[in-house]
Amino acid sequence: MTLTAEKGAPMKGPVLGRRRLLQAGGFLSLAFALPLGDVLAQTAAPARPPLPGSLQTNRMLNAWIRINADKTVTLLVGKVELGQGILTAVAQICADELDIDMARLKIIAGDTALTPNEGTTAGSFSMPNCAPAVRHASAEVRAILLDLASKSLNQPVTALTVADGTITGPGGAKTTYWDLVVGQALEREATGQSTPKAASAYRYTGKSVPRLDIPAKMTGEPIFVQEMRPEGLLHGYVVRPPTYRAKLASVDLSVGERMPGVVKVVRDGSFLAVLAGREEQAVAAGQALYAAAKWDVEKGLPGTDGMPEWLTSTKPARVIETRNTPRQGGDAPVKTVEATYYRPYHMHASIGTSSAIATMGADGVVTIQTHSQSVFETAEAISKMLKLPREKVRCQHVQGSGCYGHNMADDAAADAALLAVQMPGKPVRIQYTREQEHRWEPYGSAMVVKTKAGVDKDGNVLDWDFQIYSTPHGTRPGGNPGNLLSARYLAEPFQQPTPQNGGPPNYSADRNGIALYEFPGHRVLTHFITEMPLRVSSTRGLGAYGNVFAIESFIDELAHAAGADPVAYRLKFMKNERARDSIVKAAEAFGWDKWRKRDGRGRGIGFAQYKNTAGYCAVCLEVEVNKRNGRIRVLRAVASADSGHLVNPDGVVNQIEGGLIQSLSWTLKEEVKFDDTRVLSEDWASYPILTFAEVPPVDVVLIDRPGQPFLGTGEASQGPTGAALANAVFDATGVRFRRLPLTPDRVRAGLTA
């Protein structure tokens, strides 16, 4: 995706358009050419110094920053804009470190032919990986430019000052960045030796600079991939099988070929698709083909209500000891408390269905505009699917509707590519129907958590035992075509690889499974099941939502059992100072101590440091429960957030608040429904989400830590919110709900049980 801040109007927003996006970067006035191979091949060698963030694996300075002859600067990053504001945040940092107006910056993000490869934009890694790289690369480029200026002005570097790219020496001698860079000055590796500025010297960083992408979105300038309509495009429609494992037994292709506007019907094994001149024609022909097709359908899904039992009774592929710290000595517990929690499958449920445009050029290169979070790895997977050399597939990120993880963006890119190679020279556009998106996206896995605590006579935890039962949380393309939906249905199908519970402990299904509280004995086991009744992949927070819901519900149960205040009880076991701060600040802002109980009302708190390494967040909620009909009304929400050094305070507030509201939606309403063959949640009526009338006021308290590392924020508030809600409902009703979502039916049943 390409963003340009408009010259002379630093905060007024970007100039961009689909024409530029389609010019494949050709609009840039490049000071240097960067060979494609460099971008792809830069890897760290052991002898070289370690560099901050993604500079470590993309070490060339001109891979990140180019000084252009037209008095602009191009910033290239591998992380992409998902609506989380990352591009604005890194632009703030770059402009500050380089001493230029933000208006001079052009940003190119996530283009496999142009930008550094920073892997996937996910897991709250963008700020910790991309921001330090941009910061250090910018600081180093500034130092190089000052050095050049010192030579050209014949003045020591210490005598020079910089303002918006103009370098001034004693007596008013001047030069500019654009005058200086004529050669190969930035074609070198970063050294990591430059010193970034002190927080106090920043002009943009730390301020709520308005997002660069927002004006276009509010005025109807094309900016989303869903809005791109290149000349001469064809509309594609993929006919999905009725169920996951159904096989296409037979179909009369002429049923589709006869329909108005149809250009081509494609069948490859059980992959069936149609191309037409008009979108509604493609849809109509696709649906006619579906009706005409005969499928062999398998049964065997556990069904919505059978899922908790299925998780605990299916043999896991691995039982992982995520943590095992036995208690050293001491008395036996006087009591053991146990509980079982369940979170169902959730959808990403993007408002805009996934979309992509692919074109096979005369040079045989398939260029795909996609809202994928992982353009590099998805390009690789698609090249293997198409049996093309890697360099024949180029992915360019263009913003899409918010995705909240691995939704169908990559599938749409793959489908567009599968059809584009059938019609060389023609752009092929895919946009799924709502039903296709709802029924086929990879959901956030359902999970069971069984907890057990041995407590002393005062109810203090001695031994904490936490057992997670989950299917995978990561089936991103990762360079493997078997992870692309349609590739599994081809005549020569690609098998889906067996997913791993990726990363270090506490990372995937077990993400946030290790409570940050310090208990004398602490064990976490992860029962990792690789069978997947429903398709699953990374959904905002991975296992953290289910695990934090369980941890923070259970500690609340223990506090109540001990007759202790839930905030005070948590602080007893929390040694981490920043975590304590976060809990205390949220409770204070909520008015925890002054709060008075009224009939039907309750308050609840939840806390987590995301992944135990990213942003800290505590959430307090007040609810009212209608005991007759089981309806929960959330009256207000207060959250605290410590994301380290704040780059864009309003951006952090926006992420925390948005995550909190999305989590209320999950917790109050959402569950993917399915029977023994297929998913039944196929639209917004069968899978409702939170609406305006149900959204409470949300207050976010920020804790700034100038000079501390940048911490990711986008997934910090969901877990704490889910638990705070269940805890508040308990406080209001005296009934503990351990199975989500907390629908009126479930609450009513619980209250009358």
What the block records as the tokens of 535 is: 């398709």
Residue 542 half-sphere exposure, CB side, CA atoms within 13 Å?
A: 24
Interaction between residue 6 and other proteins (CB under 8 A): no
CA–CA separation, 553 and 545 (whole Å): 12
Smallest distance, other proteins to C-beta of residue 286, A? 13
Among positions 287, 433, 496, 677, the unique one binding other proteins when judged by CB under 8 A: 433
| Residues 589 to 618 in contact with other proteins, rule: CB under 8 A | none
Residue 367 has phi, psi (to 5 degrees) of -105, 130
| Residues 201 to 220 in contact with other proteins, rule: CB under 8 A | 208, 210-211, 213-215, 217-220
Of 170-178, 445-453, 456-464, 656-664, the window that binds other proteins (rule: CB under 8 A) is 656-664
Residues that bind ligand FES (CB under 6 A): 83, 351, 402
Among positions 221, 257, 456, 518, the unique one binding other proteins when judged by CB under 8 A: 221
Contact assessment for residue 461 and residue 519, using Cβ atoms and an 8 Å cutoff: yes
Closer to ligand FES by CB, 169 or 402: give it. Answer: 402
Of 308-316, 427-435, 588-596, 599-607, the window that binds other proteins (rule: CB under 8 A) is 427-435
Of 114-122, 186-194, 568-576, 680-688, the window that binds other proteins (rule: CB under 8 A) is 680-688
Selection from 706, 717, 600 nearest residue 658 by Cα: 717
227 binds, among ligand FES, other proteins, none (CB under 5 to 8 A by kind): other proteins
CA–CA separation, 469 and 312 (whole Å): 6
CA–CA separation, 25 and 34 (whole Å): 12
Interaction between residue 122 and other proteins (CB under 8 A): no
Q: Which residues contact 154 (CB under 8 A, 6 or more apart)?
A: none
Closer to ligand FES by CB, 694 or 704: give it. Answer: 694
Closer to ligand FES by CB, 199 or 695: give it. Answer: 695
Q: Which residues contact 301 (CB under 8 A, 6 or more apart)?
A: 533, 534, 674, 675, 676, 677, 678
Closer to ligand FES by CB, 402 or 474: give it. Answer: 402
Q: What angle do CA 427, 429, 435 make, to 5 degrees?
A: 170
Interaction between residue 287 and other proteins (CB under 8 A): no
379 binds, among other proteins, ligand FES, none (CB under 5 to 8 A by kind): none
CA–CA separation, 1 and 370 (whole Å): 9
Closer to ligand FES by CB, 58 or 655: give it. Answer: 655
169 binds, among ligand FES, other proteins, none (CB under 5 to 8 A by kind): none
719 binds, among other proteins, ligand FES, none (CB under 5 to 8 A by kind): none
Smallest distance, ligand FES to C-beta of residue 352, A? 8
Selection from 129, 114, 123 nearest residue 74 by Cα: 114
Smallest distance, ligand FES to C-beta of residue 459, A? 43
CA–CA separation, 476 and 482 (whole Å): 10
Q: Which residues contact 731 (CB under 8 A, 6 or more apart)?
A: 597, 602, 603, 604
Closer to other proteins by CB, 177 or 549: give it. Answer: 549
131 binds, among ligand FES, other proteins, none (CB under 5 to 8 A by kind): none
Closer to other proteins by CB, 226 or 359: give it. Answer: 226
| Residues 682 to 701 in contact with other proteins, rule: CB under 8 A | 683-685, 689-693, 695, 697-698
- State the DSSP H helix or E strand holding residue 396, giving kind and residue range, or none if neither: strand 393-397
Q: What is the largest CA-CA distance in the chain?
A: 85
Taking the CA atoms of 690, 692, 698 and 700 in sequence, report the sign of the dihedral they define.
Answer: positive
41 binds, among ligand FES, other proteins, none (CB under 5 to 8 A by kind): none
Selection from 287, 275, 283 nearest residue 251 by Cα: 287
Beta bridge partner(s), residue 698 = 637
Closer to ligand FES by CB, 83 or 206: give it. Answer: 83
Smallest distance, other proteins to C-beta of residue 457, A? 44
Smallest distance, other proteins to C-beta of residue 400, A? 8
Closer to ligand FES by CB, 402 or 521: give it. Answer: 402
Interaction between residue 92 and other proteins (CB under 8 A): no
CA–CA separation, 681 and 438 (whole Å): 7
CA–CA separation, 207 and 626 (whole Å): 42
Q: Which residues contact 151 (CB under 8 A, 6 or more apart)?
A: none
Smallest distance, ligand FES to C-beta of residue 13, A? 16
Interaction between residue 681 and other proteins (CB under 8 A): no
CA–CA separation, 128 and 89 (whole Å): 12
The separation between the first and the last C-alpha atoms of the chain, rounded to the nearest angstrom, is 54
Smallest distance, ligand FES to C-beta of residue 30, A? 34
400 binds, among other proteins, ligand FES, none (CB under 5 to 8 A by kind): other proteins
Smallest distance, ligand FES to C-beta of residue 403, A? 10
Among positions 177, 310, 376, 404, the unique one binding other proteins when judged by CB under 8 A: 404
Interaction between residue 222 and other proteins (CB under 8 A): yes
Which residue type sits at 152?
S
Contact assessment for residue 193 and residue 177, using Cβ atoms and an 8 Å cutoff: no
- Beta strand 161-163 with 262-268 is unpaired
CA–CA separation, 272 and 248 (whole Å): 9
Q: How far is CA 132 from the centre of its chain?
A: 19
Interaction between residue 660 and other proteins (CB under 8 A): yes
Selection from 24, 23, 123 nearest residue 715 by Cα: 123
607 binds, among ligand FES, other proteins, none (CB under 5 to 8 A by kind): none
**Total residues interacting with other proteins, rule: CB under 8 A:** 61
Q: Which residues contact 596 (CB under 8 A, 6 or more apart)?
A: none
Residues that bind other proteins (CB under 8 A): 13, 82-85, 208, 210-211, 213-215, 217-224, 226-227, 229, 235, 260, 278-280, 349-353, 399-402, 404, 431, 433-434, 650, 654-655, 657-662, 665, 683-685, 689-693, 695, 697-698
